[in-house]
Chain A
Amino acid sequence: MVKSRVYIVASLIAFSFLIVIIRLFYFQIIERDYFLEYIKKQYYTKEKIILPRGTIYDSNNRILGISVPTVDIFVIPKYIKNKERVAKELSTLIKKPYRTILNKLYTKKHYVVLARGLDKSLKERLLTLRKELREWNIGIIESSKRFYPLGSIAGSTIGFVSRTTGKGMEGLELKYDKKLGGGTGNILVMKDAMGNPFTIENEENLEKSHDIKLTIDSNIQFIVEDVLKEFVKERRPKEALILVVDPNTGDIVANATYPNYNPNRYYRYKNHKNITFHNAYEPGSLAKPFVLAEAIDEEKISFSKKYYCGEGSITVDGIRIRDHKKFKNLTADEIIIYSSNVGAIEIALKLDPDRFYKRLFSLGFGKSTKTFPGEASGLIRKDKRPVEIAYASIGQNWTATPIQIAMAYSAIANGGYLLKPNFIKQIINKETGDIKKPEKKVVGKVLSDKSVEILQKILKQVVEIGTAKKGRSNYFTIAGKTGTAQKYDPKIKALSDEKFYTWFAGYFPAENPKFTVVIFANEPKRIKKWEFIGGGTVSAPVLKKLVDRIMFYYKSKPDKNGGEYGNKNPSRN
């Protein structure tokens, strides 16, 4: 009797367990996917968020671009019970007009975003408000917003990140998009009974991001932009730029462009170009030192002889090419110092056309440096007709980007080596703290020691007594060359006498070059009616203001007159 009762109870218990096991088998194995989906809908929420990217620093560790944590608020309007109260409470909290919020709450859309990019510190208060109002259809999503604390400083160089995709769209943000990480990702969040996110269950597409330290010095960048702003105000050009590069490493120290934009409000600007990289222009007389370098290497020039530079023009293949002055007789160095077109053409016509074009290509012209996204390569047509050689020697029928000009002039400054331009000082792994420093990339030796020595002497004279004398500094030695290129005017189907590109390219201090500088303007306007527009009158004067300010920032002692100025105080002596 006893035994049978125990068996009955035991069988009942066993049977109950069996039912539970069968039921569990049904839930866990047979209908697993269905119930997983069911639970996910009830307790989990998949949220698409903009992921934070790596931070961009300048060379002094000042932040140029940072991802700031934010929150976005959205609602499902049809389920909001008391729209007026929600609008009123949210309006005071997120500081948005009551009417705007209310109108959004009355829209017939299924899903409405009330605010994006709010300060994350508001999240707690928003959650409390939602709890108080018992409006569970107000959604709060954590996100991030790219912020550029220095505003438009170096804007066109840094570029920007899309507000919706979180991906780099322009400039260095685009170039180093993979390294900086970011983009959008999905987070599977488990909610508690009140609908508040409880724990992160799964993270998808969350790429590792790196911080990037640039070679740009925001203080120099500011000085350069300040000088450029003044220049633009005075000359009202269509486009202008000042580029500062370290000729010994190829590091880009500052790059100020006009037009520029504030990446915080990139969507308000139509033009996001960085003309230093995206556009190519005719370099004008900036090409002449390279013609001379080739002539030196081909031994087709004598510095003791005077060359007849005509009566202000030269005719090649029946085409008359004008000079800006009647120079008559000039020595080879004077041809560069006073920038004689006829003299440069006379030299160029003696050169082997193949070697001449090879020289231009070897200096980096005609191909992109691949430093910036969407970079132009410039155009050189290898046309060996004398008239084409003549025009090429005065920089008139070929184009170069300002960065190519800067690197070619850096080669003169650093002893003849063409370097690859560089923006990156360090790439920092945020997790491990590992630092990667890119090495200096030497493309090749492109100028002989002899030609470098001669060009360095001549380019110093250009600034002291030649076409760039308006840019001469009282305290520092500068070497460089001015350039003026006539623009093609489609209206008259010829080169315009009114529209020019004006250039200055050079380096300072001339004795121990620390910076290469390129100053460019597209169609600068005359200040006085009779004024001659050219690199010497327009671009060179900018140099004077720039050099003293930059060198003072580095607390550099003047190198002119043996540093004499630095130790004297004229106001006291």
Chain B
Amino acid sequence: MTNKAQYMTPEVKVRERLKLVFTGHVDHGKSTVIGRLLYDTNSLNRGIIDKVKKISAETGQPFEFAFLLDAFEEEQKQGITIDTTQLQFKTEKRDYVIIDAPGHKEFLKNMISGAADAEAAFLVIDAARGLEEQSRRHAHMLALLGLNQIGVIVNKMDLVQYDRMTYEKIVAEISQFLANLGLETSVCLPLSALSGQNIVEPSPELAWSNGPTLIEALDSLAKGTEDDLSFRLPLQDVYKFDDRRILVGRIEAGSIKIGDRVALSPGRKVTTVTKLAAWLARDEKTRAHAGESVGLMVSDEFFNRRGEVVSSAEKPPLVSQRFKASIFWMGRSPLIPGHHYKLKLATSETEAWVSEIIHLIDSATLDALPPTNNRVGFNEVALVEMNLSKPIALDLFSSHKATGRFVLISSFDVVGGGIITWAEDTGDVKYGFIHGQLKARCEVFEEYYYNADEMAVNKIAQEKPLYTIGDLVPLTGQSYVYPEFFDIVIFRDLVAVKIRAGQVADILPLSDYAFQGWPLVNGRGFGVMVRSQDDWLRAKADLATLTSENQTARVQRWLDFNTYRHIPIGVHDYSI
């Protein structure tokens, strides 16, 4: 008999891993709690401990548990956490990634970086000092970041002689605050990190709490999953390294299998998954789940680009250019309505601006406040209305986290983050021109051809870009040639567009447009036969009030197809 055992994988038991962040006001002892937890569970290697001992000896300071995490010289010298750290440790039940987040308000952006990565959070509160400004602000941030498992640690119980009343008062206060944020408190416990009470072993001093130790509290948290939601995969890229065309991205929600009908939004084009591609044959599979990075092959070749969202065909995301969001501002300069930012949502990047600051939210009381000077300042939270330069695929944060949140960039830096609370679904309507609130559809650069098989004129399906002031437009196509200077009048959206030297020079309401002698085309690229302002006013009156009775006569009177367009014979379907 051959010895089979040696070919078997030695460890098949799969351990769960949970990411936990510790947050709270500066000096309430987050780093000490974590340092103590890691030290008491023997999770730190000797090198780190020796290093901290060496530093303590050199500086004549007592051994500082927080230094086990606060690795930067500046952090140790000042005794505060500046940046977030991640460390790992394990209990019997599972593995943990422990994230330490700074509590000083100057470093809120670092706290957010740490907390955004977590699946559950602990709020650490100093028993002697109770809730302070950053305790509440951090709780508010955790709600905005979508964390719904929050534990409460009342630390430094030694400073209040392990007093039960003090503990219960703090717990009642924070639980109420969390409830106002729509959050339930998952677990609460008193402890003293400095003296090691209630970390690993139950503390005799805290016997009245009957509660869990810190280790037990960690293990009581549940691990969430995005697997049951409808499928979402924000497209990262399209690869054509060889003869395969592979759409790549990470599954943010739901699952996908070969044969599934999927939609690609914002275009909402529908196709079928034919293969989940992989480098190694052993990695090829028929089904993939939330969290996996996959390569999809589909039955139809569309023009696909990064930023599109692949979804189930039945439950696609919203397609929107306007939404409301709760945002938190991390920029040194305030958010200003009308100022343009780059918005990054999943893998899409779009130009965006705030059209209205609806109200600010006071992080201490959660009250709605009117904005000061119509600005959102550093570390402030606000409800705003956002506008985008083009429609993108998105979701409400309450239905899909990954496609319902975004960051804003201003001159290279992330200055804000937000979660979408309401969105106007514009669906399939695709605009071709945009400027501020003005939007117009555009068929000026569409290509037509004569299909000799069908003896019909067909339009070639193509991806349409969105033009705004300053953009170059394609003056020459296969089926049209426009002059370098001309005007476009779009009656159905009541917008006029001026093209000068091949560039969009202006986009204005049709009512403000005056004819200045430049060649004129309508929204489909047909010539509009006017020679004077009087002609234009008559044409406008006629064409803006078309009915089924009058339209043939009026269209024939004012419009001419052949001025700038012709119809080439399409070669794809031509057979003799």
The judgment on whether A and B are partners is no
B contact residues vs A (CB 8 Å cutoff): none
